[in-house]
Structure 1
Amino acid sequence: MKLVKHIANLGYGSRKEVLRMLREGRITNAAGEVLCADDPLDHDDVRVDGQPLDPPPGLLLMLHKPTGYTCSTRDAGRLVYDLLPPRFRLRNPVLSTVGRLDRDTSGLLLLTDDGQLLHRIISPKAKLPKVYVATLAQDLRGDETALFASGTLRLHGETTPLLPAELEVLDARRARLTLYEGRYHQVRRMFAATGNHVLTLHRERVGGLDLAGLPPGAWRRLDEDARARLFAA
Protein backbone atom coordinates (compact mmCIF):
# COMPACT_ATOMS: atom_id res chain seq x y z
CA MET A 1 0.00 0.00 0.00
CA LYS A 2 3.01 2.32 -0.17
CA LEU A 3 1.88 3.44 -3.60
CA VAL A 4 -1.58 4.39 -2.31
CA LYS A 5 -0.26 6.24 0.72
CA HIS A 6 2.32 8.12 -1.35
CA ILE A 7 -0.24 9.34 -3.89
CA ALA A 8 -2.68 10.30 -1.13
CA ASN A 9 0.03 12.24 0.71
CA LEU A 10 0.67 14.24 -2.45
CA GLY A 11 -2.90 15.53 -2.22
CA TYR A 12 -4.58 13.54 -4.99
CA GLY A 13 -7.26 12.33 -2.59
CA SER A 14 -7.85 10.18 0.46
CA ARG A 15 -6.53 6.62 0.43
CA LYS A 16 -10.05 5.45 -0.34
CA GLU A 17 -10.22 7.84 -3.28
CA VAL A 18 -6.80 6.75 -4.55
CA LEU A 19 -7.88 3.10 -4.40
CA ARG A 20 -10.90 4.01 -6.50
CA MET A 21 -8.61 5.77 -9.00
CA LEU A 22 -6.56 2.58 -9.23
CA ARG A 23 -9.67 0.48 -9.87
CA GLU A 24 -10.72 2.93 -12.59
CA GLY A 25 -7.35 2.51 -14.29
CA ARG A 26 -6.41 6.17 -13.88
CA ILE A 27 -3.05 5.40 -12.26
CA THR A 28 -0.49 3.89 -14.61
CA ASN A 29 3.22 3.72 -15.22
CA ALA A 30 4.99 5.72 -17.91
CA ALA A 31 4.33 2.95 -20.43
CA GLY A 32 0.58 3.22 -19.83
CA GLU A 33 0.24 -0.02 -17.87
CA VAL A 34 -2.38 0.15 -15.13
CA LEU A 35 -0.87 -0.11 -11.65
CA CYS A 36 -2.21 -1.98 -8.64
CA ALA A 37 -2.17 -1.00 -4.99
CA ASP A 38 0.56 -3.47 -4.10
CA ASP A 39 2.89 -2.55 -6.99
CA PRO A 40 6.34 -1.19 -6.02
CA LEU A 41 6.58 2.56 -5.64
CA ASP A 42 8.66 4.35 -8.27
CA HIS A 43 7.68 8.02 -8.05
CA ASP A 44 9.13 9.07 -11.40
CA ASP A 45 7.40 6.23 -13.24
CA VAL A 46 3.87 6.83 -11.89
CA ARG A 47 1.24 8.70 -13.90
CA VAL A 48 -2.18 9.95 -12.81
CA ASP A 49 -4.53 10.52 -15.74
CA GLY A 50 -1.44 10.33 -17.94
CA GLN A 51 0.43 13.06 -16.06
CA PRO A 52 3.58 12.65 -13.93
CA LEU A 53 3.14 12.90 -10.18
CA ASP A 54 3.65 16.21 -8.43
CA PRO A 55 7.10 16.60 -6.82
CA PRO A 56 7.76 14.26 -3.86
CA PRO A 57 8.27 15.43 -0.26
CA GLY A 58 11.24 17.73 0.13
CA LEU A 59 9.60 20.29 -2.14
CA LEU A 60 10.89 23.88 -2.21
CA LEU A 61 9.03 26.46 -4.29
CA MET A 62 9.55 30.08 -5.21
CA LEU A 63 6.35 32.10 -5.68
CA HIS A 64 6.05 35.66 -6.99
CA LYS A 65 3.38 36.82 -4.55
CA PRO A 66 1.15 39.62 -5.82
CA THR A 67 -0.40 42.13 -3.43
CA GLY A 68 -3.83 41.21 -2.12
CA TYR A 69 -2.92 37.63 -1.17
CA THR A 70 -2.49 36.34 2.38
CA CYS A 71 0.12 33.81 3.55
CA SER A 72 -2.40 31.60 5.31
CA THR A 73 -4.52 28.50 4.83
CA ARG A 74 -7.42 29.79 6.92
CA ASP A 75 -7.92 33.53 6.45
CA ALA A 76 -10.82 34.83 4.42
CA GLY A 77 -10.12 36.26 0.99
CA ARG A 78 -7.40 35.38 -1.49
CA LEU A 79 -4.63 33.09 -0.26
CA VAL A 80 -1.20 32.39 -1.75
CA TYR A 81 -2.26 28.74 -1.98
CA ASP A 82 -4.88 29.77 -4.54
CA LEU A 83 -1.96 30.44 -6.91
CA LEU A 84 -0.71 26.83 -6.65
CA PRO A 85 -2.22 23.57 -7.87
CA PRO A 86 -5.19 22.79 -5.55
CA ARG A 87 -3.61 19.49 -4.47
CA PHE A 88 -0.69 21.35 -2.91
CA ARG A 89 -2.92 22.45 -0.01
CA LEU A 90 -3.65 18.80 0.80
CA ARG A 91 -0.09 17.53 0.84
CA ASN A 92 1.31 15.66 3.84
CA PRO A 93 3.77 16.89 5.08
CA VAL A 94 2.11 20.28 4.84
CA LEU A 95 3.45 22.83 2.36
CA SER A 96 4.19 25.93 4.47
CA THR A 97 5.31 29.44 3.67
CA VAL A 98 8.84 30.23 4.82
CA GLY A 99 7.99 33.26 6.91
CA ARG A 100 5.31 35.59 5.61
CA LEU A 101 4.73 38.56 3.37
CA ASP A 102 1.77 40.62 4.49
CA ARG A 103 -1.27 41.11 2.27
CA ASP A 104 0.02 44.42 0.88
CA THR A 105 3.57 43.21 0.16
CA SER A 106 4.55 41.60 -3.12
CA GLY A 107 7.60 39.65 -4.21
CA LEU A 108 9.61 36.53 -3.54
CA LEU A 109 8.01 34.00 -1.20
CA LEU A 110 9.43 30.56 -0.48
CA LEU A 111 7.30 27.52 0.43
CA THR A 112 8.45 24.09 1.55
CA ASP A 113 7.20 20.86 3.10
CA ASP A 114 10.65 20.18 4.58
CA GLY A 115 10.54 21.25 8.22
CA GLN A 116 14.29 21.11 8.72
CA LEU A 117 14.91 23.25 5.66
CA LEU A 118 12.27 25.75 6.77
CA HIS A 119 13.90 26.19 10.17
CA ARG A 120 17.34 26.43 8.60
CA ILE A 121 16.16 29.31 6.38
CA ILE A 122 14.37 31.28 9.09
CA SER A 123 16.89 30.61 11.86
CA PRO A 124 18.43 33.84 13.20
CA LYS A 125 21.80 32.08 12.94
CA ALA A 126 21.43 31.87 9.15
CA LYS A 127 21.22 35.67 8.79
CA LEU A 128 20.07 35.26 5.20
CA PRO A 129 19.75 38.67 3.56
CA LYS A 130 16.25 39.68 2.54
CA VAL A 131 16.09 42.59 0.11
CA TYR A 132 13.06 44.88 -0.19
CA VAL A 133 12.20 47.93 -2.26
CA ALA A 134 9.94 50.41 -0.48
CA THR A 135 8.02 53.35 -1.89
CA LEU A 136 7.42 55.96 0.79
CA ALA A 137 4.76 58.55 1.46
CA GLN A 138 7.30 61.28 2.25
CA ASP A 139 10.81 62.17 1.18
CA LEU A 140 13.62 60.43 3.04
CA ARG A 141 15.08 62.58 5.80
CA GLY A 142 18.69 61.77 4.94
CA ASP A 143 19.75 60.06 8.16
CA GLU A 144 18.01 56.71 7.55
CA THR A 145 21.06 54.96 6.13
CA ALA A 146 23.15 55.63 9.22
CA LEU A 147 20.27 54.95 11.60
CA PHE A 148 19.39 51.57 10.07
CA ALA A 149 23.07 50.52 9.95
CA SER A 150 23.74 51.52 13.54
CA GLY A 151 22.38 48.40 15.25
CA THR A 152 20.78 50.66 17.88
CA LEU A 153 17.31 51.19 16.42
CA ARG A 154 14.54 49.80 18.61
CA LEU A 155 11.08 49.26 17.18
CA HIS A 156 8.05 50.48 19.10
CA GLY A 157 7.17 48.03 21.87
CA GLU A 158 10.47 46.11 21.65
CA THR A 159 13.56 46.23 23.85
CA THR A 160 16.06 44.39 21.62
CA PRO A 161 17.73 46.59 19.00
CA LEU A 162 17.54 45.60 15.36
CA LEU A 163 20.51 44.06 13.64
CA PRO A 164 22.31 46.49 11.33
CA ALA A 165 20.50 46.83 8.00
CA GLU A 166 21.67 48.29 4.69
CA LEU A 167 19.74 51.10 2.99
CA GLU A 168 20.30 52.14 -0.62
CA VAL A 169 18.53 55.35 -1.63
CA LEU A 170 16.98 55.00 -5.09
CA ASP A 171 15.33 58.42 -5.19
CA ALA A 172 13.67 60.82 -2.77
CA ARG A 173 10.86 58.40 -1.95
CA ARG A 174 12.21 54.99 -2.93
CA ALA A 175 14.80 52.87 -1.16
CA ARG A 176 16.21 49.36 -1.21
CA LEU A 177 16.58 47.83 2.25
CA THR A 178 18.53 44.67 3.11
CA LEU A 179 17.61 42.94 6.38
CA TYR A 180 19.33 40.07 8.18
CA GLU A 181 16.44 39.13 10.45
CA GLY A 182 12.69 38.93 10.10
CA ARG A 183 10.59 40.69 12.69
CA TYR A 184 6.87 41.37 12.37
CA HIS A 185 6.23 44.04 9.69
CA GLN A 186 9.85 45.05 10.15
CA VAL A 187 10.36 47.24 7.08
CA ARG A 188 7.15 49.17 7.65
CA ARG A 189 7.94 49.65 11.35
CA MET A 190 11.50 50.79 10.62
CA PHE A 191 10.31 53.58 8.37
CA ALA A 192 7.50 54.38 10.80
CA ALA A 193 10.23 54.95 13.41
CA THR A 194 11.54 57.75 11.17
CA GLY A 195 8.10 59.31 10.81
CA ASN A 196 7.50 57.92 7.35
CA HIS A 197 4.95 55.51 5.89
CA VAL A 198 5.49 52.70 3.38
CA LEU A 199 3.08 52.91 0.44
CA THR A 200 4.29 49.86 -1.47
CA LEU A 201 6.71 47.11 -0.52
CA HIS A 202 8.27 44.46 -2.74
CA ARG A 203 10.73 41.70 -1.77
CA GLU A 204 13.34 41.25 -4.49
CA ARG A 205 15.64 38.65 -3.00
CA VAL A 206 16.10 36.05 -0.27
CA GLY A 207 19.66 34.83 0.25
CA GLY A 208 21.16 34.33 -3.19
CA LEU A 209 17.79 33.91 -4.94
CA ASP A 210 15.84 36.51 -6.86
CA LEU A 211 12.67 36.28 -8.95
CA ALA A 212 14.69 36.03 -12.20
CA GLY A 213 11.84 37.20 -14.42
CA LEU A 214 9.13 35.12 -12.72
CA PRO A 215 5.86 37.05 -13.32
CA PRO A 216 3.42 37.94 -10.52
CA GLY A 217 1.29 34.96 -9.50
CA ALA A 218 3.67 32.39 -11.02
CA TRP A 219 5.70 29.78 -9.16
CA ARG A 220 8.73 27.63 -9.83
CA ARG A 221 10.12 24.48 -8.23
CA LEU A 222 13.68 25.04 -6.99
CA ASP A 223 16.30 22.42 -7.78
CA GLU A 224 19.48 21.61 -5.86
CA ASP A 225 21.46 24.34 -7.63
CA ALA A 226 18.88 26.93 -6.57
CA ARG A 227 18.98 25.67 -2.99
CA ALA A 228 22.75 26.08 -2.98
CA ARG A 229 22.39 29.66 -4.26
CA LEU A 230 19.89 30.39 -1.50
CA PHE A 231 22.56 29.83 1.13
CA ALA A 232 25.48 31.20 -0.91
CA ALA A 233 24.69 34.86 -0.23
Structure 2
Amino acid sequence: MNDTRKLAKYLAGLGYGSRKEMEVAIRRGRVTGWGEEVRFDGEPLDPAPGMVLMLHKPAGYTCSHQDQGRLVYDLLPPRFLKRDPKISSIGRLDADTTGLILFTDDGALLHRLISPKSDIPKTYEATLARPLEGHEAALFSSGTLVLRGEDKPCLPATLEVTGERIARLTLTEGRYHQVRRMFAAAGNHVETLHRASFGSLVLGDLTEGEWRLLTPEERARLG
Protein backbone atom coordinates (compact mmCIF):
# COMPACT_ATOMS: atom_id res chain seq x y z
CA MET A 1 0.00 0.00 0.00
CA ASN A 2 2.34 2.68 -1.33
CA ASP A 3 -0.22 5.33 -2.31
CA THR A 4 -0.47 7.97 0.44
CA ARG A 5 -4.14 8.73 -0.16
CA LYS A 6 -5.13 5.08 -0.19
CA LEU A 7 -3.18 4.43 2.98
CA ALA A 8 -4.69 7.49 4.68
CA LYS A 9 -8.18 6.28 3.72
CA TYR A 10 -7.42 2.80 5.05
CA LEU A 11 -6.08 4.14 8.36
CA ALA A 12 -9.12 6.41 8.71
CA GLY A 13 -11.34 3.36 8.20
CA LEU A 14 -9.55 1.64 11.07
CA GLY A 15 -10.40 4.59 13.32
CA TYR A 16 -6.97 6.20 13.70
CA GLY A 17 -8.33 9.60 12.66
CA SER A 18 -9.70 11.50 9.68
CA ARG A 19 -8.15 11.15 6.23
CA LYS A 20 -6.53 14.55 6.54
CA GLU A 21 -5.12 13.67 9.95
CA MET A 22 -3.72 10.43 8.53
CA GLU A 23 -2.11 12.23 5.60
CA VAL A 24 -0.37 14.50 8.13
CA ALA A 25 0.65 11.49 10.22
CA ILE A 26 2.16 9.83 7.16
CA ARG A 27 4.12 12.96 6.23
CA ARG A 28 5.44 13.23 9.79
CA GLY A 29 6.76 9.67 9.71
CA ARG A 30 4.33 8.16 12.18
CA VAL A 31 3.51 5.46 9.64
CA THR A 32 6.37 3.07 8.88
CA GLY A 33 6.95 -0.27 7.20
CA TRP A 34 5.61 0.67 3.80
CA GLY A 35 5.49 -2.36 1.53
CA GLU A 36 6.06 -4.69 4.48
CA GLU A 37 4.26 -4.67 7.84
CA VAL A 38 2.76 -1.21 8.17
CA ARG A 39 2.97 0.23 11.69
CA PHE A 40 1.41 3.29 13.29
CA ASP A 41 3.54 4.96 15.97
CA GLY A 42 5.65 1.82 15.97
CA GLU A 43 2.73 -0.50 16.72
CA PRO A 44 1.20 -3.07 14.33
CA LEU A 45 -2.03 -1.89 12.73
CA ASP A 46 -5.38 -2.95 14.12
CA PRO A 47 -7.04 -5.86 12.30
CA ALA A 48 -8.37 -5.26 8.82
CA PRO A 49 -12.12 -4.96 8.25
CA GLY A 50 -13.84 -8.26 8.94
CA MET A 51 -12.46 -8.68 12.44
CA VAL A 52 -14.32 -10.50 15.21
CA LEU A 53 -13.54 -10.13 18.89
CA MET A 54 -14.77 -11.76 22.08
CA LEU A 55 -15.51 -9.85 25.28
CA HIS A 56 -16.17 -11.16 28.79
CA LYS A 57 -19.03 -8.84 29.65
CA PRO A 58 -19.35 -7.76 33.31
CA ALA A 59 -22.71 -7.03 34.93
CA GLY A 60 -23.97 -3.46 34.71
CA TYR A 61 -23.01 -2.80 31.07
CA THR A 62 -25.58 -2.28 28.32
CA CYS A 63 -25.16 -3.62 24.78
CA SER A 64 -25.93 -0.34 23.06
CA HIS A 65 -24.21 2.50 21.26
CA GLN A 66 -26.54 5.17 22.65
CA ASP A 67 -28.03 4.24 26.04
CA GLN A 68 -27.16 6.17 29.17
CA GLY A 69 -24.77 4.70 31.73
CA ARG A 70 -22.05 2.14 31.17
CA LEU A 71 -21.88 0.60 27.71
CA VAL A 72 -20.02 -2.52 26.56
CA TYR A 73 -18.24 -0.35 23.99
CA ASP A 74 -16.58 1.52 26.84
CA LEU A 75 -14.56 -1.65 27.45
CA LEU A 76 -13.06 -1.59 23.95
CA PRO A 77 -10.32 0.71 22.59
CA PRO A 78 -11.95 4.07 21.71
CA ARG A 79 -10.40 3.84 18.24
CA PHE A 80 -12.51 0.74 17.49
CA LEU A 81 -15.67 2.85 17.73
CA LYS A 82 -14.45 5.08 14.91
CA ARG A 83 -13.96 2.22 12.47
CA ASP A 84 -15.79 2.22 9.15
CA PRO A 85 -17.60 -0.15 8.79
CA LYS A 86 -18.84 0.29 12.37
CA ILE A 87 -18.23 -2.38 14.99
CA SER A 88 -21.36 -3.86 16.59
CA SER A 89 -22.22 -6.62 19.02
CA ILE A 90 -23.46 -9.91 17.60
CA GLY A 91 -26.73 -10.06 19.47
CA ARG A 92 -27.11 -8.67 22.98
CA LEU A 93 -26.86 -9.58 26.62
CA ASP A 94 -29.01 -7.63 29.06
CA ALA A 95 -27.30 -5.35 31.57
CA ASP A 96 -27.45 -7.89 34.40
CA THR A 97 -26.12 -10.81 32.34
CA THR A 98 -22.39 -11.56 32.24
CA GLY A 99 -20.29 -13.66 29.91
CA LEU A 100 -19.35 -14.18 26.30
CA ILE A 101 -20.36 -11.66 23.68
CA LEU A 102 -18.92 -11.16 20.20
CA PHE A 103 -18.34 -8.00 18.16
CA THR A 104 -17.63 -7.55 14.48
CA ASP A 105 -17.48 -4.94 11.74
CA ASP A 106 -18.56 -7.56 9.17
CA GLY A 107 -22.22 -6.76 8.57
CA ALA A 108 -22.90 -9.89 6.53
CA LEU A 109 -21.46 -12.13 9.24
CA LEU A 110 -23.39 -10.29 11.95
CA HIS A 111 -26.73 -10.75 10.20
CA ARG A 112 -25.95 -14.38 9.42
CA LEU A 113 -25.17 -15.17 13.07
CA ILE A 114 -28.21 -13.41 14.54
CA SER A 115 -30.59 -14.85 11.95
CA PRO A 116 -33.26 -17.19 13.37
CA LYS A 117 -31.94 -19.75 10.86
CA SER A 118 -28.42 -19.76 12.31
CA ASP A 119 -29.16 -22.53 14.88
CA ILE A 120 -26.00 -21.68 16.85
CA PRO A 121 -26.17 -23.19 20.35
CA LYS A 122 -25.62 -20.77 23.21
CA THR A 123 -25.19 -22.00 26.77
CA TYR A 124 -26.17 -20.00 29.84
CA GLU A 125 -25.47 -20.70 33.50
CA ALA A 126 -28.36 -19.61 35.70
CA THR A 127 -28.61 -19.25 39.47
CA LEU A 128 -32.25 -19.41 40.54
CA ALA A 129 -34.21 -17.97 43.43
CA ARG A 130 -35.78 -21.31 44.35
CA PRO A 131 -34.75 -24.96 44.05
CA LEU A 132 -35.51 -26.65 40.74
CA GLU A 133 -38.58 -28.87 40.91
CA GLY A 134 -37.62 -31.52 38.33
CA HIS A 135 -40.13 -30.71 35.58
CA GLU A 136 -38.11 -27.96 33.93
CA ALA A 137 -35.94 -30.09 31.60
CA ALA A 138 -38.95 -31.80 30.05
CA LEU A 139 -40.76 -28.48 29.66
CA PHE A 140 -37.83 -26.75 27.98
CA SER A 141 -37.10 -29.65 25.63
CA SER A 142 -40.71 -30.19 24.61
CA GLY A 143 -40.89 -27.50 21.95
CA THR A 144 -44.31 -26.53 23.31
CA LEU A 145 -43.39 -23.78 25.78
CA VAL A 146 -45.04 -20.50 24.80
CA LEU A 147 -43.65 -17.43 26.54
CA ARG A 148 -45.95 -14.78 27.93
CA GLY A 149 -46.99 -12.29 25.28
CA GLU A 150 -46.03 -14.58 22.39
CA ASP A 151 -47.86 -17.17 20.32
CA LYS A 152 -44.97 -19.16 18.82
CA PRO A 153 -43.49 -21.94 21.00
CA CYS A 154 -39.80 -21.88 21.90
CA LEU A 155 -37.59 -24.32 20.07
CA PRO A 156 -36.47 -27.30 22.17
CA ALA A 157 -33.70 -26.37 24.64
CA THR A 158 -31.48 -28.56 26.82
CA LEU A 159 -31.32 -28.14 30.58
CA GLU A 160 -28.51 -29.56 32.70
CA VAL A 161 -29.05 -29.32 36.46
CA THR A 162 -25.75 -28.72 38.25
CA GLY A 163 -26.99 -27.78 41.72
CA GLU A 164 -30.14 -27.32 43.75
CA ARG A 165 -30.61 -23.82 42.34
CA ILE A 166 -28.07 -23.88 39.49
CA ALA A 167 -28.54 -25.05 35.92
CA ARG A 168 -27.05 -24.76 32.42
CA LEU A 169 -29.50 -24.04 29.63
CA THR A 170 -28.51 -24.46 25.97
CA LEU A 171 -30.73 -22.95 23.31
CA THR A 172 -30.50 -21.95 19.66
CA GLU A 173 -32.75 -18.91 19.73
CA GLY A 174 -32.22 -15.38 20.93
CA ARG A 175 -35.58 -13.98 21.96
CA TYR A 176 -35.86 -10.99 24.28
CA HIS A 177 -34.77 -12.03 27.81
CA GLN A 178 -35.48 -15.59 26.73
CA VAL A 179 -33.69 -17.53 29.48
CA ARG A 180 -35.21 -15.40 32.23
CA ARG A 181 -38.67 -15.71 30.71
CA MET A 182 -38.37 -19.48 30.28
CA PHE A 183 -37.57 -19.96 33.95
CA ALA A 184 -40.35 -17.55 34.86
CA ALA A 185 -42.75 -19.71 32.84
CA ALA A 186 -41.51 -22.69 34.89
CA GLY A 187 -42.35 -20.84 38.12
CA ASN A 188 -38.90 -19.63 39.07
CA HIS A 189 -36.80 -16.47 38.97
CA VAL A 190 -33.26 -16.04 37.62
CA GLU A 191 -31.01 -14.25 40.10
CA THR A 192 -27.79 -14.36 38.07
CA LEU A 193 -27.19 -15.28 34.45
CA HIS A 194 -23.91 -15.94 32.63
CA ARG A 195 -23.36 -16.87 28.98
CA ALA A 196 -20.71 -19.59 29.02
CA SER A 197 -20.43 -20.37 25.32
CA PHE A 198 -21.41 -19.29 21.83
CA GLY A 199 -21.19 -22.21 19.41
CA SER A 200 -17.75 -23.75 19.94
CA LEU A 201 -16.39 -20.58 21.54
CA VAL A 202 -15.77 -20.37 25.30
CA LEU A 203 -14.27 -17.61 27.41
CA GLY A 204 -11.31 -19.66 28.62
CA ASP A 205 -9.12 -17.57 30.91
CA LEU A 206 -10.57 -14.25 29.71
CA THR A 207 -11.49 -12.28 32.84
CA GLU A 208 -14.42 -9.87 33.23
CA GLY A 209 -13.96 -6.73 31.17
CA GLU A 210 -11.22 -8.24 29.00
CA TRP A 211 -11.43 -8.89 25.26
CA ARG A 212 -9.41 -10.63 22.59
CA LEU A 213 -9.52 -11.10 18.85
CA LEU A 214 -10.67 -14.45 17.53
CA THR A 215 -8.00 -16.54 15.86
CA PRO A 216 -8.40 -17.22 12.11
CA GLU A 217 -9.47 -20.76 12.98
CA GLU A 218 -12.13 -19.54 15.42
CA ARG A 219 -13.31 -16.98 12.89
CA ALA A 220 -13.61 -19.64 10.20
CA ARG A 221 -15.77 -21.84 12.43
CA LEU A 222 -18.33 -19.04 12.69
CA GLY A 223 -18.89 -19.23 8.96
Aligned to 1:141: 133
Cα offset, 1:20, TM superposition: 2.1
- Structure 1 residue 176, shift from structure 2 partner: 0.3
Structure 2 residue 111 is matched with structure 1 residue 119: yes
Q: Which residue of 1 aligns with 2:217?
A: 225
Count of residues paired in the alignment: 219
- Taking the aligned partners of 1:88 and 1:184, their CA distance within structure 2 comes to 27
Q: Return the letter of the residue paired with 2:22.
A: V
Contact residue 136 and residue 196 of structure 1 kept, 8 A: yes
- 2:77 maps to 85
- What RMSD over aligned residues (CA atoms) do the two structures have, in Å? 1.3
The CA deviation string for residues 202-231 of structure 1, in whole angstroms up to 9 with x for no partner, is 000011111111111111111221124446
TM normalised by structure 2 equals: 0.94
In the other structure, the counterpart of 1:24 is: 28
- Tell me if the contact between 1:209 and 1:230 (Cα under 8 Å) persists in the aligned partners: no
Percent of pairs with identical residues? 64
Cα displacement string for residues 88-143 of structure 1 (whole angstroms, at most 9, x for unaligned residues) = 01100011100001110000001111111112212222200000000011111210
Give SS of 1:5's match.
Answer: helix
Alignment match, 2:89: 97
Query: Which position in structure 1 is the counterpart of 2:163?
Result: 171
2:74 equivalent to 1:70: no
Q: Which moved more, 1:153-162 or 1:213-222?
A: 213-222
2:123 aligns with 131
TM-score scaled by length of structure 1 = 0.90
CA distance in 2: counterparts of 1:92 and 1:214, whole angstroms: 27
1:4 equivalenced with 2:40 (yes/no): no
Instruction: Report Cα offsets for 1:72-103 as digits up to 9, x if no partner.
Output: 11111111111111100110001110000111
Q: Which residue number corresponds to residue 51 of structure 1?
A: 43
Aligned to 1:106: 98
Question: How many Å separate the matches in 1 of 2:82 and 2:67?
Answer: 16
Distance 1:52 1:209 in 2: 26
Partners of 2:221 and 2:161 in 1: CA distance: 26
- Paired residue for 1:38? none
* 2:148 aligned with 1:156: yes
- Alpha-carbon distance in 1 for matches of 2:66, 2:200: 31
Match of 1:204 in 2: 196
How much does 1:25 deviate? Answer: 2.0
One-letter amino acid of the structure 1 residue matched with residue 162 of structure 2: L
| Unmatched tracts of structure 1, length 5 or more | 30-34, 36-41
Distance 1:197 1:19 in 2: 56
Paired letter, 2:91: G
Query: 1:206–1:230: 8 Å Cα contact kept in structure 2?
Result: no
